[in-house]
Amino acid sequence: MARLLLTTIAALSFAASSVQAAADQAGSGVNNCEDTISLYEPSAQNGRDFLLLGIGEWAFGYMTGLNVRAEDHERRDLGGFHALGIGRDILKYCTTDPEATIMEIVTAMYFNAPRIAPNVS
């Protein structure tokens, strides 16, 4: 568990320090795809994994926050999302739309996730 925490912190630090986020380190979400791809492509494999994990962790946290603020009937099932997988999916989308921001992509991913049926027994 401690190793996962340290890896996550390192990944987030790498992603935040590598791309100058617009609002004083506001997080991966404010970065656009072009900047993300320009960091990913020249990196060694461990750097790539850290970048994708950092983006994925940010994305999962953002989607969790959206769920917390949503009405019960609007909440989404986030069980199918995993940080590294989210990072890879975002990178794949980025190749088709380099001007998109990470936040725009993650918001679309969130709203495409299935809704959780409240009070299902």
Round to whole Å and give the CA distance between 11 and 8. 5
Q: Which residues are CB-contacts of 63 (< 8 A; sequence separation ≥ 6)?
A: 76, 78, 81, 106, 109, 110, 113
What ranges do the domains of the chain cover? 2-19+27-112
Find the mean pLDDT for residues 97-115.
Answer: 95
Q: With 60 as the cut, is the pLDDT of residue 79 above it?
A: yes
Q: What percent of the chain has pLDDT over 90?
A: 51
For residue 22, the model assigns a pLDDT of 37
pLDDT score of 21: 39
pTM of this prediction exceeds 0.85: no
- Integer CA distances (angstroms), 67 to 55, 70, 72, 89, 106, in order: 18, 5, 9, 20, 13
pLDDT value of position 24? 41
